[in-house]
Amino acid sequence: MKPTTRELATILAALRYWQANNASDSRLEEVFAEHFAETTLLTTTEINNLCEKLNCSVRKLSKTHADVQLPSTNSKAMMQNIVVQGR
């Protein structure tokens, strides 16, 4: 599978959000419990390594850097609201 630029940006943003919040928000594990029924959560270090792998594979394919920075405080608050409300 080769994700589009938009898909990869969304994947990286979600991973970075999860990385920034999974240690401090136990509700995330509860909200997404069905995804972890047969496995364990990635640690923040493992998420960082996965993001690096994704970025490296994209750079090899497109010769551009596609990493996504952590969302701003306002974006993080909005995303937390969405997760809490289950939307």
**In the chain, what are the domain boundaries?**
5-85
Indicate the average pLDDT of the chain: 74
Report pLDDT for 61.
55
pLDDT > 90: percent of the chain: 24
Q: State how far the alpha carbon of 38 is from the alpha carbons of 28, 33, 41, 43, in Å.
A: 17, 10, 10, 16
| 50 CB-contact burial (10 Å; exposed 0-12 / middle 13-18 / buried 19+) | middle
Indicate whether 79 pLDDT > 80: no
Report pLDDT for 70.
46
Residue type, 61: L
Report pLDDT for 36.
79
| 33-74 confidence digits (pLDDT tens) | 888 788 888 888 999 999 999 988 766 655 544 444 545 545
